[in-house]
Amino acid sequence: MTTEVNPQAAVAPAAPPKNNNRRKALTILLAVIVIAAIAWTAYYMLVLRWHQDTDDAYVQGNVVNITPQVTGTVVSIGADDGMKVNAGQVLVQLDPNDAQVAYDQATANLANTVRQVRGLFSAVDAGQADLSAREVAVQKARADVKRREGLVASGAVSAEELAHARDELASAEAAMSSSRGSLARNRALVDATTVAKQPQVAAAAAQLRQAYLNLQRSAIVAPVSGYVGKRNVQLGQRVQPGAALMTIIPLDQVWVEANFKETQLAKMRIGQSVDVHSDLYGGDVTYQGKVVSLGMGTGSAFSLLPAQNASGNWIKIIQRVPVRIEIEPKQLVEHPLRLGLSMHVDVGIREQTGAVLAAAPPAKPVLVTDAYAKQLHEADAMIEKIVRDNLPGMQHG
């Protein structure tokens, strides 16, 4: 008897390995998913939840507008776009001829006023001497009247002579009174003062100081060191006070303004560390910075046309608040930035000891310049010299 073998029955036992491989693959996939979820959760709990980042960030800085303080015609330009300038450097020179004439007139006026005031002091001395002489004349006239009054009764002196003596006394007293009044008027002009501090001299000195400043201001200087960003002035142009001639940008004073969503600000504090990347340098350069202030309002609140939300078609939009970030000055020197560049900002919010708002006003000015300090000092020195040269015994041949 012959037994036939069923081919299907011989293959059937091979099915379980396929199911095992599928189960193993699903197990591995599930394990990978679980491990990835655990890893992501751990990464979020340890790292991500302590960071807030945004690409809506740009470089900002001080843009110093150079404007004239006096009217004048441009005769020279000392710097052009992109050039570096130092504080106190002459950027634009105006025609100084008109200012020079006014200065010369003010100088002559001060010298003349000093000499006139010297005359007032001399008039006081002369008036005092004249008053003393008038007082002596009055005393003599009184003595003459008194002596004659005793002789009228005896007939030694006539009544007419006594009348003449009394007239002379009245005249002497009137002259003394006039002299005393004139002395008082002259003394009121110079009393409790010196030639240099006398009001007329002070007024002339103020005019000279203004004329000197106008002469100095014909040379328009840079108030800060930096780079010329935009030159608008041209040779021969007639400029007025306040007109924008050019701008200076101090690139060592730039900062980053990052616009965070209002939902990102809950744990953001002043003083928190920040990692900043610039599209200019890419990932090769990481700037270290810190949060120095959080904006006092959203961008829409300070826009030219604020949003009118009290309307029937209102739609809620998440607002953004500017956050100012200060970058290490040394890094700005090594890798300078430009205004308006796009930045990526990552703020570490783990540190929560900082304040949301500044706790105290600044102890000193935030920005200051001494580019104009010497002008007034030099004017005062010139005034002192003119006064000294026109005092007695100080003239120079």
pLDDT over threshold 60, residue 255: yes
Do the beta carbons of residue 94 and residue 70 sit within 8 Å?
Answer: yes
SS3 of residue 369 by DSSP: coil
Burial of 267 (0-12, 13-18, 19+ CB in 10 A): middle
* Average per-residue pLDDT for the chain: 85
**Percentage of the chain exceeding pLDDT 90:** 44
pTM above 0.85, yes or no: no
Among 227, 209, 213, smallest CA distance to 89 is for 227
Tokens at residue 164, please? 């003449």
Residue 33 φ then ψ, to 5°:
-65, -45
Q: What are the boundaries of each domain within the chain?
A: 64-96+217-249, 98-201+374-389
**Does domain 64-96+217-249 sit in CATH 2.40.50.100?**
yes
State pLDDT tens for residues 287-344: 999 999 999 988 778 777 777 777 777 778 888 999 999 999 999 999 999 999 999 9
pLDDT given at position 1: 46
Q: What would the pLDDT profile of 337-370 be if each residue is shown by its tens digit?
A: 999 999 999 999 988 898 999 888 889 998 899 8
Express each pLDDT in 190-221 by its tens digit. 776 777 788 888 899 999 999 999 999 999 99
Give whole-number Cα distances, 144 to 92, 155, 158, in Å. Answer: 81, 16, 13
Q: Which are the contacts of 137, defined by CB distance < 8 A and separation ≥ 6?
A: 172, 175, 176
